[in-house]
Amino acid sequence: MLSSLKDVVKKIARSSSVDKKLVEEIVRDVQRALIKADVNVRQVKEISDAIKKRALSEEVLSGLNPREHIIKIVYEEILRGVGEGFDIPLKKSKIMLVGLQGSGKTTTAAKIAKYFKDKGMKAAVIAGDTHRPAAYEQLKQLAEQAGLGFFGKKEEKDAVKIVKEGLEALKDYDVIVIDTAGRHALEEELIEEMKRIAEVSKPDYKFLVLDASIGQLASKQAEAFNEAVGIDAIVITKFDGTAKGGGALSAARLIGIPIAFIGTGEKIEDFEKFDPAGFVSRLLG
C-alpha cells in the first residue's frame, strides 16, 4: 500500500501509460495519503474529485508528457485545497491570541512579536494569561531573550485590567501581542474573559493557536473559538512533531479562515510564515 503522496508521484512517473484505470488508482492513493495526514474526509473528497475530473477531461499541455500532466494536476489541486496563507501587514497593530491551554499560546506570543521585531518594528507582549501560573515568568523570559517589550503583573488575577494597563504602558510600540488564558475546554468563563479582553483591547487581529497534533479535533475547536470571539487567522504549533497538520488545515478550510504562521519547535526562532507550497510538500512527504 502506498503510504504517502510522494509514492503516488513515483508511481505515476513509473507507469507506462496514463489511462482511466491509472487515474482511478491515483485518486484512491491520493485519498488514502490525505486521510493518513489527518485531512478531513469531506475535503479529501473535494480534492480527489477535482483531480479525477481534470485528469480525465483536460488536454495534456504542450511541453508536458501525460505523466507530468497528471502530477501537475495532483499538485495543483492539493495546493488549491490548502488555500492561501494570511499575509499580515507590517503596520502598527494589536494581535490577540486565543486557544486552549497547552496549545502553545505563550510561546507563540513571543514568536509573533519577534517576527515583527526582526522586520525592524518595535514589538511587545502582554502577559494576559492569569490562569496558568507559569505563563507570566515564561513570557517575561522569552521577551527578555528576544529583546521585546513586556508588560505583566505577577500577582494580578484580573486579565482585563492587565491588558488595559499594558496597552497604555506599551503605547509607543508598533506591534503588541496579547497572550490570554486557555482552559482544557472552551468554558463559559473563558469565553467571557476573551470577549472582555477583545472589548478593551480592540485587537486588529485575533489569532487562534492550534496544536498540529490534535488532528480531527481541530475543526471543533476552531469552530467554537470562531463562534465565541471571531478569528482572523490560525497559527498551527508543534509542526516539528509527527503530525502532518492535515487536521488543523481542514479546520482552517472548514471555517474559511487562513493560516498565518506555523510553529516548528520550542525555541523562539522556530517559527515560520505559513507557506502553502511548503505545506503541500509536507503533506506529500
Residue 269: strand, helix, or coil: coil
Q: Does 253 bind ligand GDP (CB under 6 A)?
A: no
Which parts of 203-242 interact with ligand GDP (CB under 6 A)?
237-238, 240
Query: Is 239 flagged in the annotation as binding?
Result: yes
Rounded to a whole number of angstroms, the minimum distance from the CB of residue 159 to ligand GDP is 13
- 40 touching ligand GDP, by CB under 6 A: no
Candidate ranges 7-15, 45-53, 55-63, 258-266; the one touching ligand GDP (CB under 6 A): 258-266
Taking the C-alpha atoms of residue 206 and residue 255, their distance in angstroms, rounded to an integer, is 14
Task: Write the CB contacts of 87 (distance below 8 Å, at least 6 apart in sequence).
Answer: none
Give the range of 95-103, 114-122, 221-229, 250-258 binding ligand GDP by CB under 6 A.
Answer: 95-103
Span interacting with ligand GDP, options 169-177, 216-224, 251-259, 265-273, rule CB under 6 A: 265-273
**Would the annotation count 181 as a binding residue?**
yes
* Residue choice 81, 166, 182, 246 for contact with ligand GDP (CB under 6 A): 182
Reported as type and span, the H/E element at residue 51 is helix 41-57
Contact pick of 66, 258, 265, 278 for ligand GDP (by CB under 6 A): 265
CB 77 within 8 A of CB 64: no
Give the CB-side neighbour count of residue 85, counting CA atoms within 13 A.
Answer: 17
- Other beta carbons within 10 angstroms of residue 139's beta carbon come to 27
∠ CA 31-78-20, nearest 5°, is 55
* Residue 269 is a binding residue for ligand GDP (CB under 6 A): no
Q: State yes or no: 101 annotated in a binding site.
A: yes
Residue 99 in the binding site for ligand GDP (CB under 6 A): yes
Alpha-carbon gap, residue 283 to 43, rounded angstroms: 14
Pair 76, 50: CB distance under 8 Å = no
Query: Is residue 242 marked as binding?
Result: no
What is the Rg, in whole angstroms, of the alpha carbon atoms belonging to the chain?
Answer: 21
Interface with ligand GDP (CB under 6 A), residue from 263, 268, 283, 284? 263
**Chain CA centroid to CA 136, Å:** 24
Is there a binding annotation on residue 238? yes
What is the spatial distance between Cα 30 and Cα 197, in angstroms, rounded to a whole number? 43
Q: Is 57 among the annotated ligand-binding positions?
A: no
Side-chain half-sphere exposure of 64, counting CA atoms within 13 A = 14
Question: CB of residue 214 vs ligand GDP: minimum separation in angstroms?
Answer: 12
Taking CB under 6 A as the criterion, the residue among 52, 105, 117, 140 binding ligand GDP is 105
Residue 99 has phi, psi (to 5 degrees) of 160, 170
What's the rounded Cα separation, in Å, for the pair 229 and 232?
10
130 in contact with ligand GDP (CB under 6 A): no
> What's the min distance (Å) between Cβ of 178 and ligand GDP?
12
Size of the site for ligand GDP (CB under 6 A): 19
Binding site for ligand GDP (CB under 6 A): 99, 101-107, 132, 135, 182, 237-238, 240, 263-266, 270
| Residues tagged in the binding site annotation | 99-106, 179-183, 237-240
